[in-house]
Amino acid sequence: MATAAPAESMTIAAELQARIDQLARDSRMLSVGELCRRVDAVRNIAAARRLLPLARLAGSLRDALAEGGRGTPMTPWIEAMRESLGHDAQDEATARAFVASVGVRLAG
C-alpha cells in the first residue's frame, strides 16, 4: 500500500490542524449549516487520507450539530480532533475509542 510522502503528510496535517483551529475560533459566529459544511470538509480530507479517528470524530460532530444545533458543545469534539491528528494509530478501533472519549468528556 502506498503512503503519502513525509512532506505531503506534514502539509495535510497542517491543513487539517488549521481547519480544526478555525472551527474552534469561528464556531460561535457560523450558522449550524456552515459549521456542518466545514466539519464535513475535515471529515472528507481525513477519510481520503485514511485518518480514521479524525474522520469518525468529524462525522460524529456533524451528526451532533445536525441533531443538537447550537446546543452542541464544541470544545470536547475540537480537543479530541486535535489529539487524533497527532496519534500514531489510525485504525477503526482507535477511531471508536476517540469517539467514545468525547462521550466521557461530555459526561464530565
Give a yes or no: residue 39 inside a domain.
yes
How far apart (Å, rounded) are the C-alpha atoms in residues 81 and 52? Answer: 11
In a domain, 67, yes or no: yes
Is residue 52 situated within a structural domain? yes
4-43 pLDDT, tens digit each = 566 777 799 999 999 999 999 999 999 999 999 999 999 9
pTM higher than the cut 0.85: yes
Q: Is 11 within the bounds of a domain?
A: yes
Looking at the structure of the chain, the number of domains it has is 1
In a domain, residue 2? The reply is no
Is 40 inside a domain boundary? yes
Range of the domain at 70: 7-107
24 occurs within a structural domain: yes
Q: Per the domain annotation, does 1 fall within a domain?
A: no
